Chain A
């Protein structure tokens, strides 16, 4: 019998359609890659067990979401209870980089995170294997801008950035290890906060109030 229960950490991958969210997850969990693009509809998750440096055993539950807008709107259900969020862009697609801010905001709005400024995000620029000519011109500069912009709320500290290739398995493992560590930290904070109010529904809305307000309108 194993003594301690493994900690389950919920991780969400967000980003524009086609940036390689599904590919990153599959590379990390199953070490597989497919050239073929099949848009994710709704969301799905995979699990992976990890042992961190401090010998701590964790299970990552990685939620891969749809980048396409028409498959969204379900956010709140998936985001609930997330311990870390991966913001993903494609190094050949400038728009996907620029959209990171709105992905982050969307996540914070929907997820009902109690301390948004402390919530761990990580930024992944995927597809670095492609030819430099195809990459966003002066990527680093633009990336820095975005990263600084994203971090405005985060006490001035910037979020970690990883440049990866799901195709060639570059940096994927490393990125997810950092994700796991950040998620674990977040989970521990959540646990500590959850001690006093053991309510499963922290995002509940009192209906009395709601109806009264409506009543007077």
Chain B
């Protein structure tokens, strides 16, 4: 890649530098940490300025090589930089800063080992440094903990290889495999390697750092120093070129790596017992890069003696899958990471092969190893998978679940993807996402899959996961969790404990609808109702959804009440007092909200049939005008259905009555009420018994109201009945009777055909209903049954009077217009007067009735002459005089013409003359 210098920044005496944020993928860096001969600084490339950090070497002349190691912190996950500082010859420290130059941790200190001239690597929570003591010619590997800022291990490197020398031949093949299988993970991470080689002399070199995207700046490094690292080894093995050699020499090299992968670690706890198998040199496996094949071809060969001419033999380095190989023409060194992971991998194989079911030791070992790894590093996650699979293999499901639910901090993502668990359990994962996993565990996956019974495991996994994880990570488990339930009561309990808030926020989680539909399809009706109720609490719920849930609650409740549908949890849920599962109440609560009138109607209708008292009560309570028609319709429908246990006739009647009282001008309502009422009378009462009682009342009326009694006003038949009803055994019947009467009065005017009550006791009502009959004959009939008041009223108005205390006929609104006076009132009244006169037992009582008649109707409907002409001769003078006076007063007031006055005066005179003759004949003084 060609590099362009686009900006040059003067930084004198610079030694080396690193770009900040190398491993951050989103941004290239504008900052670099650089070192000159004495100090570290941060250089802001964009603004071309320097932020001084601190001195790393006390003496500028004493060459100290600065190390700036960038890494991701094991705990925070943020990029940090470890900068080494030399205090004096025997002691050094490391400062740890962030990209702002702020110190993020305390210092690491290395007392009595000097300075890490051999290089520094940070891996996970550990820092590995090679400390070389020039005088003694020894190198130490020092491992320090970033967590506790202490040194946890110091080993002489030569000791590390002591045990290595023994078994090199045996491991050859193994190594070959390992090299191929060698950790493929973390391939995505960038690997930065800087290899500085200095053989025999000091070399000035430039280290170019390449960032994938753009290199903004070339950081010039002048490395002018000598670094001695001694690697002693004895290697005895075959190499590709069939060169078997004993290598025992000093290699002067400096390897500075920023490789995330390279070094294996040791358990801090075990530091005393085991040497650190850090760098295994001497296992030879030549990996030829293509270039080197070519260079082989290009080697110069002396044709005379067949020897290869070696000019200044170069040292090559090749990397392959994170394995470093160094070689020149007669020696080979390989730095393969034989991570403990490989060991674990092979132990895993053993574990699976000779499965003795309590082999938890292996798992413990893996767990221990994991402690040395940065959480959520690939190796860590890989091990987590191994532990998980091992637990599963041992049928230790609780632990397996616990492991499976480990999450990365702080993202909260699952380290073992749920899709893997789905796969193992042979369950179709809900998402479309790819199910990626490690190649290294593939074979084990298949074996685990075949070996464990997943029934409870999967269910428990999903539930526990859903419980523990935040919504983002757990949402994929939510569907399976709901799928795992076998009853509504389970679902209710789960919702109560875990999931209520998600349902209450219905619109926010799109999954909700799918799950809801699924539960509905599975007939978990109580759950459906419960969820609908929760969803209604979401203030953001759309109007359609709201009505959807309202309808769902009502329909489902009614379905359950009617046993059209069944929910097996019904009993247990009802017994569990925790949930209010009073379905009737639920319907009642929501009914008023229901906008769709058709649904309202159907629901209410069914509710009334299923639970009549509550339904009726509801109608009574909610009988507002715009629901009235519906309620009426409901009554109609119900009344038609004969086979219900509840007395809908009575309810309908009551309902109609109430409706009618609200709207008393409504004649068709009156008609329906009339129908209902007559039906009720004919069905409700034992008419035989009623008849007897009724006849008695009639008979008493006949007696009490006969003309023998002269007191006026006389009570009419209907009012008499009302008066009697209070003391009668058949008061209910009487009330019904009177109501029918009233309704007949109202409907009459509409000329509907009246109800036929064919029993004789209803004669009176028939009379009322029969509108075709002429007035005179009606009056005659009324007189016949001694209903004189009514007869008189009828004679004048052509209709019956409303009762004094009416049930319905309050006010006059029921009449189309105030009852007009009939044309032939005179005639009708005359008819009555004649009846009185004719049917009277004696003169005295006759006179009383006449007086009533004359005083009541005399002035209004008759002229004095007509009136006087109608009176019988025996009418006493005094009675007549008082009538005439009344007429004269009335006329005076009215200023009537004199002729009438004269005739009245004459009439009076005549009466006086008559009076005279009476005196004469009687002889009294």
Q: Which residues of A contact B (CB under 8 A)?
A: 41-45, 70-71, 73-78, 80-81, 200-201, 203-208, 210-211, 214
Whether a CB of chain A sits under 8 angstroms from the CB of B9 is yes
Contact present for A70 and B9 (CB under 8 Å): no
Task: List chain A residues, Cβ under 8 A from B52.
Answer: 76, 203, 205
Please pick, from B10, B49, B97, the residue contacting A204 in the complex, using a CB distance under 8 A: B49
Categorize the interface residue count of chain B: 35 or more
Contact present for A207 and B50 (CB under 8 Å): yes
Shortest Cβ distance from A84 into chain B, in angstroms?
17
Please pick, from B50, B87, B106, the residue contacting A45 in the complex, using a CB distance under 8 A: B106
Task: List chain B residues, Cβ under 8 A from A77.
Answer: 53-54, 95, 97, 101-103
Interface hits, B34-50 → A, CB 8 Å: 42-44, 47-50
Please pick, from A41, A200, A214, the residue contacting B93 in the complex, using a CB distance under 8 A: A41
Q: Which residues of B contact A (CB under 8 A)?
A: 9-12, 42-44, 47-55, 58, 85, 87-88, 91, 93, 95, 97, 100-103, 105-109, 111, 149
Task: Tell me, in angstroms, the Cα distance from A76 to B97 when the chains sit together.
Answer: 12
Task: List chain A residues, Cβ under 8 A from B105.
Answer: 44
Residue of B nearest to A10 (CB): B102
Task: List chain B residues, Cβ under 8 A from A207.
Answer: 9-11, 43, 48-50
Task: Tell me, in angstroms, the Cα distance from A132 to B410 when the chains sit together.
Answer: 54
Please pick, from B54, B101, B106, the residue contacting A201 in the complex, using a CB distance under 8 A: B101
Residue of A nearest to B106 (CB): A44
Task: Tell me, in angstroms, the Cα distance from A206 to B41 when the chains sit together.
Answer: 12
Task: Tell me, in angstroms, the Cα distance from A168 to B449 when the chains sit together.
Answer: 63
In the complex, besides A73-B85, A201-B100, A208-B48, 6 extra interface pairs with C-beta distance below 8 angstroms are A41-B93, A41-B111, A42-B95, A44-B106, A78-B103, A201-B49
Task: List chain B residues, Cβ under 8 A from A201.
Answer: 42, 44, 49, 51, 100-101
Shortest Cβ distance from A172 into chain B, in angstroms?
21
Shortest Cβ distance from B99 into chain A, in angstroms?
9
Residue of A nearest to B42 (CB): A201
Shortest Cβ distance from B141 into chain A, in angstroms?
20
Please pick, from A73, A78, A80, A81, the residue contacting B55 in the complex, using a CB distance under 8 A: A73
Task: List chain B residues, Cβ under 8 A from A81.
Answer: 102
Shortest Cβ distance from B535 into chain A, in angstroms?
25
Most A C-beta atoms less than 10 A away, residue of B11, B12, B52, B105: B52
Shortest Cβ distance from B83 into chain A, in angstroms?
9
Task: Tell me, in angstroms, the Cα distance from A71 to B52 when the chains sit together.
Answer: 19
Contact present for B54 and A76 (CB under 8 Å): yes
Task: Tell me, in angstroms, the Cα distance from A38 to B54 when the chains sit together.
Answer: 25
Most B C-beta atoms less than 10 A away, residue of A42, A44, A81: A42
A-B CB contacts (within 8 Å), total count? 84
Can you offer 18 A-B residue contacts whose CB atoms are under 8 A?
Answer: A41-B91, A41-B93, A41-B107, A42-B109, A43-B103, A71-B87, A73-B54, A73-B55, A74-B54, A74-B55, A74-B107, A77-B97, A77-B101, A201-B101, A204-B49, A204-B50, A206-B49, A207-B11
Shortest Cβ distance from A61 into chain B, in angstroms?
10
Please pick, from A70, A75, A211, the residue contacting B87 in the complex, using a CB distance under 8 A: A70
Task: Tell me, in angstroms, the Cα distance from A77 to B103 when the chains sit together.
Answer: 6
Task: List chain B residues, Cβ under 8 A from A208.
Answer: 48
Shortest Cβ-Cβ A-B pairs, 7 listed: A42-B107, A44-B106, A211-B10, A41-B109, A204-B49, A201-B51, A42-B93
Task: List chain B residues, Cβ under 8 A from A71.
Answer: 87, 93
Contact present for A43 and B106 (CB under 8 Å): yes
Shortest Cβ distance from A70 into chain B, in angstroms?
6
Task: List chain B residues, Cβ under 8 A from A80.
Answer: 101-103
Task: List chain B residues, Cβ under 8 A from A41.
Answer: 87, 91, 93, 107, 109, 111
A41-B93, A42-B95 as given contacts; A210 in contact with B107, CB under 8 Å: no
Task: Tell me, in angstroms, the Cα distance from A81 to B104 when the chains sit together.
Answer: 12
Task: Tell me, in angstroms, the Cα distance from A42 to B95 when the chains sit together.
Answer: 8
Contact present for A206 and B51 (CB under 8 Å): no
Task: Tell me, in angstroms, the Cα distance from A211 to B107 when the chains sit together.
Answer: 32
A81-B102, A201-B51, A205-B51 as given contacts; A70 in contact with B88, CB under 8 Å: yes
A41-B93, A42-B93, A42-B95 as given contacts; A204 in contact with B107, CB under 8 Å: no
Shortest Cβ distance from B636 into chain A, in angstroms?
59
Most A C-beta atoms less than 10 A away, residue of B12, B48, B107: B107
Task: List chain A residues, Cβ under 8 A from B53.
Answer: 76-77
Most A C-beta atoms less than 10 A away, residue of B12, B50, B105: B50
Task: List chain B residues, Cβ under 8 A from A75.
Answer: 54
Task: Tell me, in angstroms, the Cα distance from A181 to B410 when the chains sit together.
Answer: 32
Task: List chain B residues, Cβ under 8 A from A74.
Answer: 54-55, 85, 93, 95, 107
Task: Tell me, in angstroms, the Cα distance from A45 to B107 when the chains sit together.
Answer: 9
Contact present for A73 and B101 (CB under 8 Å): no
Task: List chain A residues, Cβ under 8 A from B10.
Answer: 207, 211
Task: List chain B residues, Cβ under 8 A from A73.
Answer: 54-55, 58, 85
Task: Tell me, in angstroms, the Cα distance from A205 to B49 when the chains sit together.
Answer: 5
Task: Tell me, in angstroms, the Cα distance from A6 to B102 when the chains sit together.
Answer: 19
Residue of A nearest to B97 (CB): A77
Task: List chain A residues, Cβ under 8 A from B101.
Answer: 77, 80, 201
Task: Tell me, in angstroms, the Cα distance from A75 to B54 when the chains sit together.
Answer: 8
Contact present for B50 and A210 (CB under 8 Å): yes
Shortest Cβ distance from A66 into chain B, in angstroms?
9
Shortest Cβ distance from A194 into chain B, in angstroms?
13
Task: Tell me, in angstroms, the Cα distance from A141 to B107 when the chains sit together.
Answer: 38
Please pick, from A44, A70, A200, A214, the residue contacting B107 in the complex, using a CB distance under 8 A: A44
Residue of B nearest to A46 (CB): B106
